[in-house]
Structure formats: structure tokens, C-alpha cells
Amino acid sequence: MNTSRGIFSPNTFPNLFNFWNRFPEAVIIAGATELLHFQAKRIPEFPETILLLDRMEELQKIDRTERFLELGAMVSLSRIASLGKIVPTVLLQCINEVADIYIQNLATIGGNIACNGDLIAPLVALGASYEIRSGTIPPRRIPASRFLSIKNELKSQELISRVLIPFEQWDYAQFRKFHDPTPDHPSVLALLLARVERDILTDLRVAVSGTSFSFYHDREKCILVSERLPIKKRDIRAFMESWKNSPATLEALKDNTFQNSIINFIYFALLSGLSE
């Protein structure tokens, strides 16, 4: 096995995967913010062999097709925010709450997804999918929700190359980030998306992230979906019971400092947006 140290900065996929093949232990670095996140030393430690993605033009691309906003994995969070109205509101709100503008300038969408960052909750709720590349097989697409349930599904020498976000109209969107001041405790996000067509609720999604992640899609149970607006308070309470008692929500709210705040946030979001 080759044991050389080094930093390699490829500009094409063949170059990248050639290098990775020769140095399988090489670690991908995108914006490098996560790498430095928990390092207290004055001189930070770096992996022995590094694959920098910053010269990969292909990964910097932003495309807009009829159905999707397509973002290369190296697109920074601030560049996404600068796209304005074509970016779904919950994703914009989430980006605005990631650290500060300096981190947002460096941090990339691919890096955020790979290290289970905040963007995962809106991306799952929006029905996004990720394009995964390796040197040997053609690119494959994985729904964001599946990527999460098969955690660390990235095999060795695979990377996230693109993120595809469907252009869908959301009539009602609520997002809240709860900050935990305790060091090493992740912040918690809660968000709700709803679509209404001719006064009928046609889609409702709730996501909560923190130490664990939950996604609840009411299209499967149809407790509120298909109801005419304004929705009765008793139906909202029935939805809350079903959501709170689903296995994923129970897990996400277990030992969660913000348990009551999250429940209240979702309840009042439903009441104020959809109820009588």
C-alpha cells in the first residue's frame, strides 16, 4: 500500500478518481469548515492525504431545469442564498441560520450533507435527491430521505456530486432553529411544509432534526391531507397525536431539551396557517 502524504487538487473526475484509487485513504475536503469545527489547537490537524475539491468546476455548477434546481456539491451556502426566490424559503431560512456569513461563504452543500448538517432537514422535506459518483460505476441518484436512513451509505471512493431540488409550490412553510448553548450539543431544527389546492390540503410534511432525525409525511396516513380549509382544531389535535407517537418522532424528541418547544411550534404553525 502507498503511504505518501500529500494534498491533491484535481480538476476533472478522471483525475480525482485516479488519485483516489492510488490513495484510498485520502480524505475529501470541500470548504474545510467541519474539519476545523471542533479543533481547539492553534495549529489544526489535517488528514495525511487530502483531496481538495475546490478546482472541480463540474462541482461548482448551478443549473435550472424545468423540474429541478441542480446544485453542484461545491456550491457554497452563501451562493445558494444569493440565488434568491428560486430557492425554497425553508432552505433559505435554514442557510441563514448556519453559523455566520463567513462560514456560509466557505461551507458547501455537499459538505453539509456529508456531515449531517442542518440542511438535511429541509432537503428531505423538499423531496431533494443526491447524485453520487464513483470512479467505476455511472452516477446514481438517491432520495435525500433514503440517504439518511442508510447512513454512511457512501462507499469508499464515492462522493456527492450534485443535489437536485424539485421546483414545487409550497403554500405554507414554517421553520425554526432551537439553539442549545451546551457545547457539543447539536442545534435542533423543526419545519413544516403544506400545499393547498382549491382550499383542500394536498400535502403536509414535518421534519425535526437534532441528535436523531424524523420526517413525517401526511400523504401516507392522510390525517389532515384531503381536508378542506379551515381545518378543525380537533383534527389538528388528532394529527399532533399521530405525529408525536410515530416511532421516528418519539426517537427525535426523546431526551430532547426542546421537546415541548418543538411540539408547541408545530401545533401553533398548524393552527395559525391552516385552522379556523
Ligand X SMILES: Cc1cc2nc3c(=O)[nH]c(=O)nc-3n(C[C@H](O)[C@H](O)[C@H](O)COP(=O)(O)OP(=O)(O)OC[C@H]3O[C@@H](n4cnc5c(N)ncnc54)[C@H](O)[C@@H]3O)c2cc1C
Applying CB under 6 A, which residues contact ligand X?
27-37, 73, 98-99, 103, 106-108, 110-112, 114-115, 117-118, 154, 159-160
Give the angle subtended at the CA of 92 by the CAs of 217 and 260, to the nearest 5°: 50
Compute the least distance from the CB of residue 94 to ligand X, in Å.
Answer: 8
Compute the least distance from the CB of residue 180 to ligand X, in Å.
Answer: 11
- What is the C-alpha to C-alpha distance for residues 43 and 73, in angstroms, rounded to an integer? 28
Decide whether 27 or 250 has the Cβ nearer to ligand X.
Answer: 27
In sequence order, which ranges of the chain are alpha helices (DSSP H)? Answer: 13-22, 33-37, 77-82, 89-96, 101-106, 109-114, 120-125, 144-149, 218-221, 233-244, 247-253, 259-274
Decide whether 31 or 88 has the Cβ nearer to ligand X.
Answer: 31
Reference 208, options 171, 263, 153; nearest CA is: 263
Compute the least distance from the CB of residue 166 to ligand X, in Å.
Answer: 20
Compute the least distance from the CB of residue 120 to ligand X, in Å.
Answer: 8
Compute the least distance from the CB of residue 90 to ligand X, in Å.
Answer: 14
Decide whether 158 or 218 has the Cβ nearer to ligand X.
Answer: 158
Give the Cβ contact number of residue 135 at 10 Å: 14
Cβ-closest position to ligand X:
111
Decide whether 103 or 240 has the Cβ nearer to ligand X.
Answer: 103
Decide whether 106 or 248 has the Cβ nearer to ligand X.
Answer: 106
Tell me what percent of the chain is helix, strand and coil, each rounded to the nearest 5: 35, 25, 40
Compute the least distance from the CB of residue 243 to ligand X, in Å.
Answer: 24
Decide whether 157 or 249 has the Cβ nearer to ligand X.
Answer: 157
Reference 205, options 214, 197, 86; nearest CA is: 214
Residue 115 identity (one-letter amino acid): C
Cβ neighbours for 76, distance < 8 A, ≥ 6 positions apart? 31, 104, 105, 106, 107, 108, 109
